[in-house]
Amino acid sequence: MKRSCLIIACLLVIGFACLQKTHGKLNPFLLTPLGMNVRSSRNRRNRRAFDPSNIPQGTAVAATVSLVAGKMRLVFPQRMINAATPTEITANALHCTGITQVNAFTFDLAFAAPPVATNPWVIPANSPNFRTANGGYVAAATGVF
Handedness of CA 78, 81, 85, 88 (dihedral sign): negative
For the segment 19-57, what is each residue's pLDDT rounded down to a tens digit?
444 455 555 555 555 555 555 566 777 778 887 777 777
Mean pLDDT of the chain, nearest integer: 79
For the chain, which domains are there? 2-40 (no CATH), 64-144 (2.60.40)
- How confident is residue 140, by pLDDT bands cut at 50, 70 and 90? very high
106-120: per-residue pLDDT in tens? 999 999 998 988 889
